[in-house]
A and B are shown apart, each in its own frame.
Chain A
Amino acid sequence: DAKTTQPTSMDCAEGRAANLPCNHSTISGNEYVYWYRQIHSQGPQYIIHGLKNNETNEMASLIITEDRKSSTLILPHATLRDTAVYYCIVRVAIGGSQGNLIFGKGTKLSVKP
């Protein structure tokens, strides 16, 4: 079973920041938080990951609470092309089968004009 809880769907206005929450209250000390997204029926795409510090890359920012029980993915200026299903996944970064991805149902983000 997925170890994360996400809202089923969210809407965001084009040009505004999209904030996607994720709860992972049972996360272990060696588990990272990963975010992937899937646009329509394409293969999922890696966005970002983090352990405990906030992270930023060219696609998004990841804010992880101090207790690591929840996180928020931020798309700073959402565009129509960001409409997708966003998956929050917790996993160890390296290693054997513990590093496999376990997908939940994700959050369907709809960016509206």
Chain B
Amino acid sequence: DADVTQTPRNRITKTGKRIMLECSQTKGHDRMYWYRQDPGLGLRLIYYSFDVKDINKGEISDGYSVSRQAQAKFSLSLESAIPNQTALYFCATSELAGGSNEQFFGPGTRLTVL
């Protein structure tokens, strides 16, 4: 089974709708991240969380909100979706400290806002 899972994998929605993307991990990591990727570009950080009580804005947080329901779960919400939020969204996790501090990514959610 995958260590980092994202649901849904694909979603088409309409402008103005509220949508939630979910991320779950079984790696036992404290840190979780949400990124978006637009065609031909690298990933950009939306929000990140270093533990259940910690939420931080990333580079492009406007129009998004997050919830860290538990160590293993980190959800991304679009309160009122707009077409320029059409993108590929990735969740990632990493250990709090030590080791290589590498991030482990989920398979991605392809979101289309019409």
Contact = CB atoms under 8 A, between A and B. Distances in A.
Contact of B100 (A43, A87, A93): A93
Interface residues of A, number: 22
A106 B98 CA distance: 26
A45 to B, nearest CB: 7
B90 A94 contact: no
Contact of B45 (A49, A93, A96, A101): A101
Interface range for B: 20 to 34
A44 B90 contact: yes
Interface in B9-56: 33, 35, 40-45, 48, 50, 56
Nearest to A105: B42
Contact of B92 (A2, A43, A93, A94): A43
A104 interface: yes
Contacts of A97: 48, 56
A99 B92 CA distance: 13
Nearest to B45: A100
A18 to B, nearest CB: 20
Nearest to A91: B101
A46 B97 CA distance: 17
A46 B42 contact: no
Contacts of B56: 97
A3 B41 CA distance: 15
Interface string A12-56: 000000000000000000000010000001111110010000000
Interface of A: 2, 34, 41-46, 49, 87, 93-94, 96-97, 99-106
